[in-house]
Amino acid sequence: MVVRRILFGAAVLLSVNFVPGYTQDFGYDGTSGPNFWGKTFHNCVGKHQSPIDIELTDVKVKKFPPLKFENFDMALEKVILKNNGHTVVLTVAEGQLPSVSGGPLEGTYLFAQLHFHWGKNDLEGSENLINNHSFPLELHMVFYKSSYNDFLHAANHSDGLTVLSYLFEAVESENHRYDKFEEELVKVQNLGATAEVHDFVPVQQFIIDDKDAYFTYLGSLTTPPCSEVVIWIEFRQTVPLSHDQIQTFRQLSGTHGRLEHNFRPIQPLFDRVIYMNSGSYTYIKYTAFLLTILGIMCQ
């Protein structure tokens, strides 16, 4: 079992580092920027691309089964952080992989990697938007469907990947759940730098606790090759982080100088429907109901 997990980890590392199509050059400015990706990577001009703007008045409310997270609360035996020139990527090299099932997903999805997108200041940076509102940082936890055996095979099926996506908010105080990560982040500022960390914090530390309030839609990888194979799960509640903590991300060096921003602009929705889990809807309705009752009582 341990050997199998190590193999899983190795497969993920291979997929990120050595496979054609995942290593070709792209950037976020000028002629290597998002508007030109489609010339080299034809999927990038598809009709189910990510990110998107989530318009609250257009979402369709739907009741999904509860999301089930496993191994989110376990320390990660050995992780590797890498500055790949486009972002900082965390992969699990040894130990139990977190997994997710339920919600809009059929079957179990295993952790492949997590990474971030940010902007040059706190007013922008997230890839997905809500009512045209940008957030300063967005975390993508990428999982592949376990029945497809590995990341690469999964990335060739329309339901092959899921991304648990978290939006951040700049706040006054530091979020100490990110201390350990930030400590490692400064070690991988140089292009191509890696850091190996043993007994790392559980992935639960990176996210918020509310698993019910989310949007979901079908989309793509937001970087080349832009494959349309991702079930997006975008959480409504934001993760707080201080300005200085967010600033650390902007110190990374990319393939084209300092990586000040690495978010792709929003793409057209076309025929797609964005769903909002009714768990969040019930919560909103319940709050509204309580406020109404309170209003009546106070009259």
Using CB under 6 A, list all residues that contact ligand NAG. Answer: 53, 55, 131-132, 156-158, 227, 229
Regarding 140 and contact with Zn ion (CB under 5 A), the answer is yes
Residue number, 140 or 236, with CB nearest to Zn ion: 140
d(CA 21, CA 40): 10
- Which is nearer to ligand NAG, 90 or 167 (by Cβ)? 167
The least distance separating Zn ion from the CB of residue 139, rounded to whole angstroms, comes to 8
Which residue's CB is nearer to ligand NAG, number 92 or number 269?
269
238 binds, among ligand NAG, Zn ion, none (CB under 5 to 8 A by kind): none
Closest CA to 90 of 75, 98, 80, 76: 80
CB nearer to ligand NAG: give 161 or 241: 161
Does residue number 211 form part of the binding site for Zn ion (CB under 5 A)?
no
CB 242 within 8 A of CB 170: yes
What whole-number distance in Å separates Cα of residue 164 and Cα of residue 140? 6
Contact (Cβ atoms closer than 8 angstroms) between residue 203 and residue 96: no
To the nearest whole angstrom, how small is the minimum distance from the Cβ of residue 21 to ligand NAG?
10
Active site residues: 86
Reduced to 3 states (helix: H, G, I; strand: E, B; else coil), residue 251 is: coil
Work out what residue 277 binds among Zn ion, ligand NAG, none; the CB cut-off runs from 5 to 8 Å by kind. Answer: none
Out of Zn ion, ligand NAG, none, what residue 91 binds, judged by CB under 5 to 8 A for its kind, is none
Q: How far is the CB of 226 from Zn ion (least distance, A)?
A: 11
* CB contact at 8 A, 230 and 163: yes
Amino acid type, 290: L
Q: Can you give the binding site for Zn ion, defined by CB under 5 A? A: 140, 222
